[in-house]
């Protein structure tokens, strides 16, 4: 069965600390996509990154970086030099394709609440 586990329910850090959010997934598919979304206190879902199963290269975007390891079925997210504006709930998700990709079902983890204290 498809499943995404975010074991960290809440993390609290002080501004400028680095923080890593863990994500472990389960799937029987050989082709799949992994995502991270941010949900700030205002409530909208903000897309951060998509990674396909054939691309294990790590990615860096400013203070954000992602480490994808198929061997451990993990897709971890690191924020360097955290800021108060990073405070949000972060969701990891796995995409399951239906009908040859005509539609995709996002399977979300339970989210990690990150609180960055000034």
Q: By the criterion CB under 8 A, which residues form the site for other proteins? A: 33, 37, 39, 43-45, 47, 50, 89, 91, 95, 97-99, 101-108, 110-111
Identify which of 71, 92, 84, 82 has the alpha carbon closest to the alpha carbon of residue 8.
92
Strands 74-79 and 64-69: antiparallel
Q: Answer for the pair 92, 3: CB distance below 8 angstroms, yes or no.
A: no
Q: Which is nearer to other proteins, 14 or 46 (CB)?
A: 46
Q: How far is the CB of 45 from other proteins (least distance, A)?
A: 4
Q: Which is nearer to other proteins, 14 or 45 (CB)?
A: 45
């Amino acid at each position: 069965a498809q499943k995404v586990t975010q074991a960290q329910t809440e993390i609290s850090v002080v501004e400028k600390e680095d923080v890593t959010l863990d994500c472990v997934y389960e799937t029987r598919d050989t082709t799949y996509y992994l995502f991270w979304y941010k949900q700030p206190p205002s409530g909208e879902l903000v897309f951060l990154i998509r990674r396909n199963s054939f691309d294990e290269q790590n990615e860096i975007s400013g203070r954000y970086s992602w480490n994808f390891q198929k061997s451990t079925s993990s897709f971890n997210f690191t924020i360097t030099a955290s800021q108060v504006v990073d405070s949000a709930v972060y969701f990891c998700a796995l995409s399951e394709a239906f009908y040859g990709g005509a539609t995709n079902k996002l399977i979300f983890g339970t989210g990690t609440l990150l609180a960055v204290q000034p």
